[in-house]
Amino acid sequence: MCTTCGCGGDHSHMHSHTDENGNVTIHATDDHHEHEHTHADGTTHSHAHSHEQGDSHDHSHTHKISVEQDILSRNNAIAAHNREMFAAKKILALNFVSSPGSGKTELLSATIRRADPKALPITVIEGDQETSNDADRIRSAGAKSVQINTGKGCHLDAEMVKTALQHLDPPQGSACLIENVGNLVCPAEFD
């Protein structure tokens, strides 16, 4: 869940597909589903209504419960695990975040073409809401890549990166480049 707009949550679902060439695409979704609940007065309804604090509404405020929790604790723990894995395997991990069309994929492709894969093997995690076009470009430049399609998600979270790393298995002493989803409508304020 991001702290800016509240997108995401603890109910992320991922599944992967491997094509005939061994290319992996991971689909990740955060289900923003409706649910029903019952108020103390017995009124039951779905969550399709507003909870604004106006003067006129049909339920009382007899109970006030204050709940405070770190909404990013799960993500932070997984991100710490990812960082530990990168450090243990001496992997340089770089996360590229920028606007759509700003040149992230071109920068990565040019870097891969110019790099010596024996001196510095490069793997890439590609984030996109819908397509695998960027991952295809990265592969044609010469690097192993895993595509993560986030659907409506506007950025990769730590669990998505962890899942991609399990498929990529970057070698010791390599570079792992992460091209994050190019949607800055919802800036990511977390690992």
**Digit-coded pLDDT (tens) for 96-136:** 988 888 899 999 999 999 999 999 999 999 998 888 999 99
- B/e letters for 80-118, b = 16+ CB within 10 Å, e = fewer, are eebeeebeebebebebbbeeeeeebbeebbebbeebeee
Output 83 or 71, whichever has higher pLDDT. Answer: 83
What is the model's pTM?
0.69
The answer to whether the CB of 149 falls within 8 A of the CB of 28 is yes
Pairing between β-strand 44-46 and β-strand 144-149 as defined by DSSP bridges: unpaired
pLDDT digits (tens, 9 = 90+) for 134-169: 999 999 999 999 999 988 887 889 999 999 999 999
Output 5 or 23, whichever has higher pLDDT. Answer: 23
How far is residue 155's CA from residue 157's CA, in Å, rounded to a whole number? 7
72 band by pLDDT with thresholds 50, 70 and 90: confident
Residue type, 13: H
Q: What is the pLDDT of residue 21?
A: 82
pLDDT digits (tens, 9 = 90+) for 23-68: 888 777 655 444 454 555 566 555 444 444 555 556 566 676 666 6
How far is residue 191's CA from residue 124's CA, in Å, rounded to a whole number? 17
Q: What does each C-alpha distance from 88 to 127, 144, 153 come to in angstroms?
A: 24, 21, 30
| DSSP assignment of 78-133 | HHHHHHHHHHHTT-EEEEE---TTSSHHHHHHHHHHHS-TTTS-EEEEEEESS--H
State which H helix or E strand residue 1 sits in: none
* CA angle (21 as vertex; 19, 23 as ends), nearest 5: 60
Q: What does each C-alpha distance from 191 to 1, 41, 154 come to in angstroms?
A: 11, 42, 14
List of domains in the chain? 23-28+69-179 (3.40.50.300)
Q: What is the pLDDT of residue 126?
A: 95
